[in-house]
Amino acid sequence: MSGFSISRRGLLAGMSAVGASAALSACGAKTGDSTSTDGSGAKADTSGSTVKVGLLNSLSGTMAISEVTVHNSLLLAIKEINAAGGVLGKKLKAISQDGASDWPTFAEKAEALITDDKVAATFGCWTSASRKAVKPVFERYKSPLFYPVQYEGLEQSPYIFYIGATTNQQIVPALDYLKKQGLTKLYLVGSDYVFPRTANKIIRAYVKANGMQVMGEDYAPLGSTEFGTIVNKVKDSGADAVFNTLNGDSNVAFFKEYKSSGLTAKSMPVLSVSIAEEEVKSIGTQYLQDQLTAWNYYETTPGAANTKFVAAYQAAYGKDKPTSDPMEAAYISVYLWKEMVEKAGSFDVAKVKAAADGIILDAPEGKVTVDGATQHVYKTARIGKVGADGLITEVWNSGKPIKPDPYLKGYSWASGLS
Amino acid sequence: MTVILNQSFTGISIGAVLLLIALGLTLTFGQMGVINMAHGEFIMTGAYTTYVLQKSISGAGISLLVALPVAFLVAGAMGALLEWLLIRRLYTRPLDTLLVTWGVSLMLQQLARDIFGAPNVQTRAPDLLTGNISVGGGITLANSRLFILGLALLCVLALTLILRLTPLGRRIRAVVQNRDLAEVSGIATGQVDRLTFFIGSGLAGVAGVALTLVGPIGPTTGTNYIVDAFLVVVVGGIGQLKGSVITAFVLGVLQSVLEYSTTVSVAKVMVLVAIVAFLQWRPQGLYTLRTRSLA
């Protein structure tokens, strides 16, 4: 596997040289306000009356269920911005590429968006694996990516804007909440890949520093449907609550088993960080009722901006379609980019990046502010409870937006993490 | 003690799922020597049948009961069709059946994706099956697992009766033991093959109905189980119903005990190592079929 990735990197490096020179010669023939300043990156074509932006999501494969919703809300934001006159007087033209739930494909499509379509910015990716795959591509071409999903932190790229929560805006507040409720003995259940393992490493450090206890830690392969033993272990562990970092369909099997073993939200609540409105609907409300989630946004979050967002989304895609946290983050990511470009007065990536710090948006989730130093945003943490109707209602929030801290530098207990 | 009993029940219920999915294979692979890679897709067919019926029949309990015979017939019919179209031309070439049925399995997966969409779907379990029975001492038995166990045992019983007592069963056994002799004795072996395939595939459909109680339904639902099913049949001894039953439960309990003391992934590896060691010691499996043929 590693041999494959190395040779792939070599291949991409070779291709990038060809791609960059092709892009340069193409730009040489063009007139108008050429953008990129450093000469080594690909140049966004902003000479005409339209500006291309890239949408990079899995429209097929196992992740399509989640990523299609993100793609839809990106298109909605672009449509709204165009209806209001576009960005710097130019209409946006969305170029969609299908990452197909396959990480090397994501890297290829990212390169195609930058070099062939000459997009000014790209929006998308969901799994950390896909983000890690495209990161070197965006860095090499000095082209910006706006990433809309909560993730495990401990990463920073000069060309990625992280619009979803980092750990101190989701996992740490969730732990604070459990501690306050007196739920101090935790059982950690997760899928066996990078996000749950990193999250659980952070949880263990927190638990140790706060006089709490981890009663057990179990991982199931992605897509696994056999949870009999894990649920038995949870049941016998004497834990107060379960911290759930399972991803995707495994949640269906897990919660079915959880309920039929007699465990309930009352006897042992489960707090999940990867289950939003869309997933609640497909897992089945009867299995999830009264269980907890941690996010920055729910469909029920109060505020005029959210009422407008939900109404616009459902008008475009159907009355029964829920909105969720990653969808909202994707939606505001386009608006944040628009604000940055207008503040910079240019599509030039370096100028846009310089203009990013301090951009404020009245988002559906509440006020968000871009932190220029980390390229993350200040976000309000919210704990929610699943209702009988499948919607999630807030039971607690952090009161004000939390400053992003991807490396958890502000927490002494996290000093050993990397 | 509670832990041991609870874990044993979990193991037995894993065994029941394994048994249900391996039962059809025991017939098609075990008795007929066809390596049917599309078996997993017949399981998927049964699962989607349940989903479709639940959309059209209100009442989760009734739709599940209706789904059992309907899934048997639908998957069985697909199996018989596959046998008639392709497999009957390949009985003397077992490795080719692997390639052909693998191709068919990919086509069926894509077909399911086109019809039902790429995202997985779920069915609603009847309320009766979402609860559990407490038998005291902290031991609880999940109703859905008891249902699957009962279903598996019922299928074993039905299959045993068919093979032992019916004229069809006698003909199947005759064809398996010596096809040429059966043929010259006046048995329409082609017809027997088709019926055997019908029953084997139908049982896969029933397994698919049971799986809807466990997890999500998707185009690759069957693929997740196909390797385990082949392991059960091979370890049990090819063509041996008794061997499959014992192997399924032993593997289920072994898996759950190892999972409890290690992790899911480690347990999987240990079970595979145990199987490899066992097959070194007894390549023919737990039981063997005694025949007069020299092959």
B205-255 per-position pLDDT tens digit: 999 999 999 888 888 888 888 888 889 999 988 778 889 999 999 999 998
Contacts 24+ apart (CB under 8 A), B167-175: B168/B192, B168/B195, B172/B31, B172/B196
Q: How close are the terminal C-alpha atoms of chain B, in Å?
A: 49
Q: Which of A62, A221, A229 sits opposite B7 (nearest CB)?
A: A229
Contact B130 A219 (CB under 8 A): no
Contact A286 B124 (CB under 8 A): yes
Q: B191: distance to nearest CA of chain A, Å? A: 38
Low-confidence residues in chain B, pLDDT < 50: 294-295
Tell me what pLDDT residue A208 has: 94
Contact B120 A282 (CB under 8 A): yes
Q: A226: distance to nearest CA of chain B, Å? A: 8
Residue B264, chain A, CB below 8 Å: the answer is: yes
Q: B-chain residues within 8 Å CB-CB of A283?
A: 122
User: Which residues lie closer than 8 Å to A190 by C-beta, 6 or more apart?
Assistant: A196, A197, A199, A200, A217, A218, A219, A220, A244, A245, A246
H helix runs in B91-142, sequence order: 94-116, 127-130
Rg of chain B in Å (alpha carbons):
19
Tell me what pLDDT residue A194 has: 84
A251-262 per-position pLDDT tens digit: 888 999 999 888
Q: Is the pLDDT of residue A23 over 60?
A: no
Q: B-chain residues within 8 Å CB-CB of A257?
A: 142
Q: Which of A250, A260, A283 sits opposite B132 (nearest CB)?
A: A260
Contact A218 B215 (CB under 8 A): no
Q: B-chain residues within 8 Å CB-CB of A221?
A: 264-265
- Parallel/antiparallel/unpaired status of strands A382-386 and A292-295: antiparallel
CA distance B170 to B173: 5
Tell me what pLDDT residue B206 has: 96
Q: How confident is the model at residue A42 (pLDDT cuts 50, 70, 90)?
A: low
Segment A296-318 shows an average pLDDT of 96
Amino acid present at B207: A
Amino acid present at A147: Y
Contact B80, B197 (CB under 8 A): yes
Q: B-chain residues within 8 Å CB-CB of A284?
A: 122, 124
Q: How confident is the model at residue A29 (pLDDT cuts 50, 70, 90)?
A: very low
Q: Is the pLDDT of residue A13 over 60?
A: no
CA distance A227 to A337: 43
For residue A402, list its beta bridge partners. A379
A72-88 per-position pLDDT tens digit: 999 999 999 999 999 99
Q: In chain B, whose CA is at the least distance from the CA of A283?
A: B122
Residue B122, chain A, CB below 8 Å: the answer is: yes
User: Which residues lie closer than 8 Å to B76 by C-beta, 6 or more apart?
Assistant: B198, B199, B201, B202, B205
Contact A398, A173 (CB under 8 A): yes
Q: Which two tokens stand for residue B246?
A: 């014992």
- Parallel/antiparallel/unpaired status of strands A292-295 and A270-272: parallel
Q: Which of A64, A221, A252 sits opposite B265 (nearest CB)?
A: A221
